Amino acid sequence: MFDPSIYQARRAALARQMGEGLALFLGNGLAPMNYPANPYPFRQDGAFRYLFGLDQPDLAAVVELPSGRAHLFGQDLGLDDVVWMGQQPSVAHLAASAGVEHWHAPEALAPMLREALRLGRPVHFLPPYRGEQELALEALLDIRADRVRQHASEPLIRAYVEVAARKGPEEIAQMELAMERVTRPMYLEAMRLARPGAREQELAGRLEGMVLAAGSALAYPMILSRDGQILHNHSHANVLRAGDLLLIDAGAQSPLGYATDITRTLPVGGKFSPKQAAIYNIVLAAEEAAIQGIAPGVPYRALHLLASRIIAQGLKDLGLMRGEVEAAVEAGAHALFFPHGLGHMIGMDVHDMEGLGEDFVGYDRQHARSTQFGLAYLRLARPLREGFVVTVEPGVYFIPELIDQWKAQGLHQEFIDYDALDEYRDFGGIRIEDNVLVTATGHRVLGPRIPKTIEEVEEAMR
């Protein structure tokens, strides 16, 4: 854990943006896999860990508003539990390590909330995302479980996003650590393993094993596939063949739970074909230009559009697109090849704070979400601020189903040469992704460099 003063400062910064009342934070419990006693690996709620640092299940906390004084609720183990589970830190000890002033047994939580409500003081909470959280809120606040999400507090969401979006140096250090100790070694190993004949599952397992052996865990389910054009593809059923492109999108958690999120696309067999190299360099140019553009005040949407134009220009140079690049991007024609957003914030959650509502995190009152295909999936649009950490992850994909759909509908024929696309139907997809800190004067890519240019990747695969 960080020093208790860090968590106190975070809570104070949050509380001072709020009026009178209480803010309730439920830590996560163990999530049952197939029966209650067989749980998944424990994953603490991001906001709870950000504000209290505690990585134990079944805790809850209340922050008094606007003072920031805090209360921790948890069950101390009895001697019988110690026999089965070994010595565990007491709730008093946990509270002290989080700089929390008061601690209580779990039974004290409901009366504290009821008393506040009786006095007309609001009880704010963040949106739940597990059924158990909805049921706990129902029991505590007498709001029906299926309506609890609607009663989540917008002021608390906005205050939390305001505080947690700007990362401190201690958080950056965590993300750099996860890059250096786990993420980069994993990619270097992937570059050694991506040989013809290897099974995707074999690679994915060995890479996850490396992450676990380092005492870390994946930050999200790994994508590792020769079908990189299937964007939400978590299958690892293929065998790699010479000439395939292997797309790997994976990240690890730092010791205190911060995520990394990296993508590289590798030529199975170690050498990009000229056709692959041409597309790769378009994606790389888009990624590098977007990174170069990162600075405080720059709307992230402008970087998305910059990357889109570079992609459209590159595809035009290859004869796959045509017409005026600016107009093509404005019309959304490039989204046939780049149908997702350039990136998102990253922090304790890989899509940072996504559970609170993407628009609260990535948009603001001046920047509403587009409804255009492609741009509508952009998770982050608003101007960047110092301390934001964002992913930059453009891609170019040839998605046969989408090409057929657009072609059948005659979409954007002035910008797309559908006939020329025929020989790219089986190309797959390429994405390149790094994580970038917004500094006072510009930006810094986090972590030591992971091979990225064609020369670097081919060298690492030799």
Contacting positions for a copy of itself (CB under 8 A): 28, 31-41, 43-46, 79, 82-86, 129-135, 138-139, 145-146, 199, 201-215, 220-221, 227, 230-233, 235-236, 339, 348-351, 354-355, 399, 401-402, 405
Q: Which of 239, 284, 285, 238 is nearest to 263 (CA)?
A: 284
Q: Which is nearer to a copy of itself, 146 or 422 (CB)?
A: 146
Per-residue CA distances from 303 to 245, 296, 310, 313, 446 (Å): 26, 12, 11, 15, 18
- Shortest CB 120 distance to a copy of itself, Å: 27
Q: Which is nearer to a copy of itself, 22 or 378 (CB)?
A: 378
Backbone angles phi, psi at 48, to 5 degrees: -65, -45
Contacts of 287 (CB under 8 A, 6+ apart): 307, 392, 393, 394, 432, 433, 434
Q: Which is nearer to a copy of itself, 33 or 327 (CB)?
A: 33
The whole-angstrom separation of Cα 178 and Cα 188 is: 14
- Shortest CB 38 distance to a copy of itself, Å: 5
Residue type, 54: L
Q: Which is nearer to a copy of itself, 137 or 294 (CB)?
A: 137
Contacts of 78 (CB under 8 A, 6+ apart): none
With contact defined as beta carbons under 8 Å apart, do 232 and 278 qualify? no
With contact defined as beta carbons under 8 Å apart, do 395 and 338 qualify? yes
- Shortest CB 138 distance to a copy of itself, Å: 7
- Shortest CB 395 distance to a copy of itself, Å: 13
- Shortest CB 194 distance to a copy of itself, Å: 14
Q: Which run of H or E residues covers position 245?
A: strand 245-250
With contact defined as beta carbons under 8 Å apart, do 51 and 27 qualify? no
Residue type, 168: G
Q: Which is nearer to a copy of itself, 258 or 272 (CB)?
A: 258
Q: Which is nearer to a copy of itself, 141 or 210 (CB)?
A: 210
Q: Which is nearer to a copy of itself, 37 or 119 (CB)?
A: 37
- Shortest CB 422 distance to a copy of itself, Å: 19
The whole-angstrom separation of Cα 59 and Cα 64 is: 17
- Shortest CB 420 distance to a copy of itself, Å: 21
